[in-house]
Structure 1
Amino acid sequence: MNKIRVAFFADILAEDFDGAVRTMYQLINRIDTSRFEYLFIYGAGPNAIGNFDTFRVPYINIPVNAGYSLALPKRVNAQLNQKLKHFAPQVIHISTPSYLGNFALTYADDNKLPVLSIYHTHFISYVKYYFKFTPFLVNPIKRRIAKGHKSFYNRCAKVYVPSTSIQQELADMGVTHNNMQLWKRGIDTHLFNPVNRDKRVIERLTGNQNPTIMFASRLVWEKNLETLIAIYEKFQERGRQVNFLIVGDGSARQICEKRMKHAVFTGTVDHHSLASLYASADVFLFPSVSETYGNVVAEAMASGLPCVVADGGGSKDFVEHGKDGFRCSPFDADDYAEKLETLLDNKPLAHHFATECIKHISQLSWAALAQTYFDDISTLAAPKTAPVATTTTLKPHAHLITSLLSARL
C-alpha cells in the first residue's frame, strides 16, 4: 500500500512549548507510519522529530512576543522548493497564517493540493493589547487581520476550529462555513485528575492553609492580566484571607509581581506539578478572552477544580454558567470577585461544580480527535477530492501583522 505523503508546516515545533504545540504533538505521536509519510517543515524546534523527514527554516525571534519566533522561508526558497518537489506531498498541513503558512498555501495553490489547517491562535484578540498606546491603529489592524483570515482560510479545504464561538467569529470575518469543522481538544484525564489532590503542595508554596485561587497561563498582557490584577486588588481591599497562586512565566511577570505583592508566583512548572496544583487549589480563575480554546480551563476542570472564566473567547464554551462553573463579564473585576467568593463560601456548590466538570471533560478524547484528523487527511489525499476553491491572494505585507503578533504554531 502506498503511503499518504503529508507536508506539515509550523513556525514552532518545540515540544511542550505551549498549548498549540502540545496539540500538534498529540497528532505527531499518533502517526501510523505504515499509512502515512510526513515531512515536517519548521523554524524553532528539535533537530529531529522521531524518524520523520524534516526541513529546518531560518527564523527570527519576535520582540513583541517573548519566546516566540517567525520562520523566514524566503531565505531558503530554492532549497525548500526542491525538497518539496522530491517529497511530492499529496496533502499540505498548515498551522498558522504566517510567512511560512502563506508560503505553504501558495505552494498548494500552484500544485493543486488540498490544505488542512488548525486554527490555534486568535490573533485578532491580541491587537488591543499590543497597540494599546496607539488606539487609532486598533480597528484598521483588526480589519486587515480579518481580511487576511478570510483570504487564507477560504483557500483551505478544511479548517479545524476548537469552539462554536470561534467558528462564529471566523464566519463573521467571511470564512466560509463549509470550510470549517468543529474539532475540539482532548485532555489527558490520567494526568489531570482529582486523585492528585494534596493540600500540602499548596501549603508548601503559600505557608498557610487559606483557600487558594489559581491562575495558570503565560504571563503576557493579551491574557487580560489587567483584570487579573484588578481582581486581586478587590480581595486585598476586602481583607479576604485567600492565596492567589500564579502559575506560569512571561514578559509581564515582573510587573505582575510588583502589582500583586502578596500573590505566589511559581514560574513555569512541569506537567505533573501543574496537575497537582490544579487538583489541590480551591478555584480556578481565567479572565483571558484571547483563547481559541483554553487548554488550561480543560485541565482545571478535569482535575475537579471549579472555574470562573471570562464570558468571551473560546474558553467560555467549556463552562455552562451556573452548572459547572461561572462566566463573568470579561473586564468586570467585581463580577469575578463575587463569583469567586460564592464558590469559596459555598462548599456544596463548589463540590457540585467539580463533579459536573469531571463529567463534562471525560467526553474529550485525543484518540478520537486524532482518528478524525487522519481520516480527513486520507479523504483529502484521495483522487476524487474536488479542487479547492481559490480567492485572490493577498500581497505579502497583508499577513505581516498576523506573523508578527504571534507566529506560534
Structure 2
Amino acid sequence: MKKTKVVFFADILENEHDGATRTMFQLIKRIDADKFEYLFVCGVGPDRVQGFECIKVPAFTVPVNTSYKMAFPKLVQYSLREKLHEFAPDVVHIATPSLLGEFAVKHAKQTGLPVISIYHTHFVSYIDYYLKNAPFLIDYVKSKVIEGQKAFYNQCDVIYVPSESMANELMDWGVSPLRIQLWKRGIDTELFSPSRKDPYLMPRLTGNNYPTILFASRLVWEKNLETLFRIYDDLQLKNIPFNLIVAGDGVAKKACEARMSKALFVGKVSHGVLAEMYASADAFLFTSVTETYGNVVLEAMASGLPCVIADGGGSADFVENGVNGFKCEPYNEYAYTEKLAMLLTDDSLADVFIGEGLNYSKQFDWNQLAEVYFTDIKRLARHEMAEELAY
C-alpha cells in the first residue's frame, strides 16, 4: 500500500515548549508508519521526530520574546526546495504563519499541493502587550497582522480552529468559512484526574493549611500578568487567608517574583507534577485573554479543580458562567477576588463546579481528534477537500 507523504513545517518542535507543540506531538506520536511517511522541517528540534527525518533551518531568537526562535528558510531555500522535491509530499502541514509558514504555503501553491494548518496562536491579541509603550501603533499593527493572516489562511485548504470564538474571529477577518473546521484540543483524562490528589502536597509546599489558588501558565506579559498582580494585592487587602502557587516559567518570572513576594513559584514542572497540583489545589486562576484554546483550564477541570478565569480568548468557551466555573471581566481584579472568595468559603458551590467540570471535560479525547486529522490528511492527498472548496 502506498504511504501518504506529509511534510510538516513548524518553527519549534520541542514537545514541552508550549501548548502548541504539545498539541503537535499528540498527533505526531499517533502517526501510523505503515500508512504515512512524514518529513519534518523546523527551526528548533531534534534530528529525527518519531523516527522520521527532521530538517533544521537556521533560527534566531525573537527580540520581543526571547523564549521563542523563528526559522529563516531563505538562508537555505535552494537546498530545502531540493529536499522537498526529493521527498515528493502529498500534503503540506503548516504549524504557524511565520516566515517558515510563508515559505511552505508558497511552495505548496507552486507545486499544487494541498495545505492543512492548525490555528495554534492568537498573535493579534499579543500586540496590545508588545506595543503598550507605543499605543499609537497598536491599531495599525493589528490591521497589518490581520491582513497578513487573512492572506495566509485563505491559501490553506483546511484550518483547524479550537473554539467557536476563534472561528468567528477568523471569519470576521475575511478568512473563508469553507476552509475553517472546528477541531477542539484533547487532554489526557487518565493523567489529569481527581485521582491524582495528594492531601499532603499543598501543606508540604506552603507550610500551612490555607486554601491554595493555582496559576499555571508561561510567565509572559501577554498572559495578562498585571491583572494577576492586582488580584494578589486585593486578596491580601481583604485579609483572605490563601496561598498562591505559580507554575510556569518565562521572561516575566523575575518580575512576577518581585511583585508577588509571598507567592510560591515552582517553575516549569512536568505534566505528572502539574496533574498532582491541579488535583490538590482549591481553585484555579487564569487571567489570560490571548489563548486560542487554553489547555490549562480544561486540564484543571478534568482534575476536579474549580476555575475562575478571564472572559476572553478561546479558553472562555470552556466555562459556562456560574455552572462549571466563573468568568470575570478580564481586567477587573475585584471580579476575580469576589469569585475566588466565594469558592474558597463555599464547599457546596465548589462541589457543583467540580462535578460539572468533570462531566464537561470527558468529551475531549485525543484518539478521536487524531483520527479526524489523519482521515483529513488522506482526503487532502486525494484532493477531495480541495474539490469541495471549488464549489
Q: Which residue of 1 aligns with 2:220?
A: 220
Q: What one-letter code is carried by the residue in structure 1 that aligns with 2:295?
A: N
Q: Which residue of 1 aligns with 2:335?
A: 335
More displaced, 210-219 or 54-63? 54-63
Q: Which residue of 1 aligns with 2:362?
A: 362
1:167-178 equivalence runs, <5 A: 167-178=167-178
Counterpart Cα distance in 1 of 2:6 and 2:189: 30
Do 2:157 and 2:386's aligned partners in 1 also have CA atoms closer than 8 Å?
no
1:189-204 equivalence runs, <5 A: 189-204=189-204
Matched, 1:244 2:244: yes
Counterpart Cα distance in 2 of 1:130 and 1:383: 40
Which blocks of at least 5 consecutive residues in structure 1 are unaligned? 391-409
Counterpart Cα distance in 1 of 2:47 and 2:204: 38
Q: What one-letter code is carried by the residue in structure 2 that aligns with 1:386?
A: A
Q: Which residue of 1 aligns with 2:55?
A: 55
Do 2:287 and 2:309's aligned partners in 1 also have CA atoms closer than 8 Å?
yes
Distance 1:117 1:384, change over 3 A: closer
Matched, 1:379 2:374: no
1:6-405 equivalence runs, <5 A: 6-386=6-386
Counterpart Cα distance in 2 of 1:50 and 1:130: 35
Do 1:116 and 1:159's aligned partners in 2 also have CA atoms closer than 8 Å?
yes
Do 1:157 and 1:388's aligned partners in 2 also have CA atoms closer than 8 Å?
no
Compute the displacement of 1:199 (Å). Answer: 2.6
Counterpart Cα distance in 1 of 2:153 and 2:23: 20
Do 2:61 and 2:68's aligned partners in 1 also have CA atoms closer than 8 Å?
yes
Q: What one-letter code is carried by the residue in structure 1 that aligns with 2:180?
A: M
1:257-298: CA deviation from partner (whole Å, max 9, x where unpaired):
111111111111111110000000000000100000001101
Counterpart Cα distance in 2 of 1:54 and 1:342: 50
Distance 1:194 1:252, change over 3 A: same
Q: Which residue of 2 aligns with 1:4?
A: 4
Paired residue secondary structure (2:330): coil
Q: What one-letter code is carried by the residue in structure 1 that aligns with 2:369?
A: L
More displaced, 262-271 or 48-57? 48-57
Do 2:11 and 2:69's aligned partners in 1 also have CA atoms closer than 8 Å?
yes
Compute the displacement of 1:385 (Å). Answer: 4.9
Q: Which residue of 2 aligns with 1:402?
A: none
Q: Which residue of 2 aligns with 1:395?
A: none
Compute the displacement of 1:34 (Å). Answer: 1.0
Counterpart Cα distance in 1 of 2:307 and 2:383: 47
Counterpart Cα distance in 1 of 2:239 and 2:46: 48
Compute the displacement of 1:149 (Å). Answer: 1.0
Paired residue secondary structure (2:386): coil
Give TM-score, length-normalised by structure 1: 0.94
Which blocks of at least 5 consecutive residues in structure 2 are unaligned? none
Compute the displacement of 1:376 (Å). Answer: 0.3
Paired residue secondary structure (1:54): strand
Distance 1:383 1:340, change over 3 A: closer
Paired residue secondary structure (1:53): strand
Compute the displacement of 1:225 (Å). Answer: 0.3
Distance 1:384 1:247, change over 3 A: closer
Paired residue secondary structure (1:178): coil
1:73-107: CA deviation from partner (whole Å, max 9, x where unpaired):
01110110000000111110000000000000000
Counterpart Cα distance in 2 of 1:31 and 1:44: 21
Counterpart Cα distance in 2 of 1:385 and 1:311: 35
Task: Specify which structure has the bigger relative contact order, considering alpha-carbon pairs within 8 angstroms and separated by 6 or more residues.
Answer: 1
